[in-house]
Amino acid sequence: MFENLYSELLEALSHGEEVALVSYMNPESPNSGSIVGKKLVSRAQLKNGPGESGLSPEAELIYESFNTGVPQSRNIDGRFIMVEPYFPKPRLIVFGGGHIAKPLSELAAKSEFDVTVVDDRPMFANSGRFPEAQNVICKSFENAFDELKLRSSDFVVIVTRGHVHDGICIREALNHELSYLGMIGSKRRVKGMMDTLREEGYSEERLTSVSSPIGLDIGAVTPFEIAVSIIAEVIEYRRLRNGGRDSARNKKFNWPEFDREVLETMCAPDKNRALVTIISSKGSVPRKAGAKMVVYLDGRLLGSIGGGCSEAGVITLARDIIRDKGYCISSVDMTGEVAEELGMVCGGVMDVLIES
């Protein structure tokens, strides 16, 4: 019924957009009813709307989903509305292909980033040196930006071989809204660069957004240790939406994860399946809010919301929903005696939405 919408969602994510999927449901009992519609809203569309002081309850819900990375739901004017935020898989773009870039690229790929490495030297910018990278660009640093088309969801690390190249990259990167921007260098070298940029007219607000010297202070010495300190800081900015060095600004953020295969499956019509989404969780649970799986009437599963007994009851409910259509909300409690007897390490509760 909403196959085209899921196709549009995947298309938006492929272009680096942050998008919310809004579902409208008509409650026929406290935890079940019918689905009456869905729509997509991008963050860009919200920015073009009214000021936050004049937001409707629905718009407030959408803003909250973007700001927390967690699905939001509320009863508004007799309808149950759920908003799911979707962010593209983050790119880590590394300017410089030298001795720090190699371990940094490997660590970033293992940390679920799409990695791009840029260098102007063929012996350093090639897929043989960076097999884990999704993209390796061998161009001058000036010209590479045209190909990159930087997005607000990008994380940019500048570790080139020299002060001049660092300057080229930082000047261009400062012209873009980014999730993270870091530049390597000693305190003296960084101070000199920042003073120059101030003289050139870059605002103090933009300059203070740069993490430099780069990385968490763990006393790193070797290239691998420095790479560890950098990826740790990048992850900090990913998981704490405002990022690292001003602890007063830190706010835990759930970068929305999604199973692409599940979304691709939802692009094709099928009356014999149900979509299961974790809409909230508390305590220790195997999967967080936003995780999805597909349950088929014949017993097949795609994706997971945690496995084991956390899925068994949900699967039974999902089969009922496939036959009856509509939606239901179910609570999965992993704190009780059953979980304890099974030796489950989890001890939390999660609410799931089952829809067909």
| Cis check: omega of the bond before 30, within 30 degrees of 0 | no
161 Cβ contact partners less than 8 Å away, ≥ 6 residues apart: 96, 98
Please state, in angstroms and rounded to a whole number, the distance separating the CA atoms of residues 212 and 201: 19
Least confident of 110-119, 185-194, 294-303: 185-194
Which residue's structure tokens are 């994706």?
A: 303
What one-character-per-residue DSSP string does 294-327 give?
EEETTS-EEE-SS-THHHHHHHHHHHHHHHH-SE
CA torsion sign, 282 to 283 to 289 to 291? negative
Q: What are phi and psi of 337, to 5 degrees?
A: -65, -35
Q: Tell me the H-state helices in 111-222.
A: 141-148, 163-173, 187-199, 204-208
CB 119: neighbour CB atoms within 10 A? 27
> Averaged over 14-23, what is the pLDDT?
91
* pLDDT computed for residue 241 by the predictor: 60
* pLDDT computed for residue 337 by the predictor: 43
Which residue's structure tokens are 């161009």?
A: 139
How many residues are listed for the chain in this entry? Answer: 356
pLDDT at residue 247 is higher than 50: no
Please answer whether residues 230 and 215 qualify as being in contact, where contact means their C-beta atoms are separated by less than 8 angstroms. Answer: yes
pLDDT at residue 211 is higher than 90: yes
Please answer whether residues 349 and 335 qualify as being in contact, where contact means their C-beta atoms are separated by less than 8 angstroms. Answer: yes
Please state, in angstroms and rounded to a whole number, the distance separating the CA atoms of residues 41 and 24: 13
Q: What is the pTM of this model?
A: 0.79
Residue 334 token pair: 């992993």
pLDDT at residue 35 is higher than 70: yes
254 Cβ contact partners less than 8 Å away, ≥ 6 residues apart: 68, 69, 70, 239, 288, 289, 290
Domain covering 92-249 in this structure, CATH number: 3.40.50.720
> Averaged over 190-202, what is the pLDDT?
90
> Averaged over 23-32, what is the pLDDT?
91
* pLDDT computed for residue 33 by the predictor: 93
235: pLDDT confidence band, cut at 50, 70 and 90? very high
Query: Residue ranges per domain, the chain?
Result: 3-87+256-355, 92-249
* pLDDT computed for residue 350 by the predictor: 86
Spacing of C-alpha 132 from chain mean position: 20
- Tell me the per-residue pLDDT of 132-169, one tens digit each, with 9 for 90 and over: 999 999 999 999 999 999 988 899 999 999 889 999 99
- Tell me the per-residue pLDDT of 96-140, one tens digit each, with 9 for 90 and over: 999 999 999 999 999 999 999 999 999 999 999 999 999 999 999
Residue 297 token pair: 């009437």
pLDDT at residue 243 is higher than 60: no
Please answer whether residues 38 and 3 qualify as being in contact, where contact means their C-beta atoms are separated by less than 8 angstroms. Answer: no
- Tell me the per-residue pLDDT of 306-336, one tens digit each, with 9 for 90 and over: 776 667 889 989 999 999 899 999 988 776 5
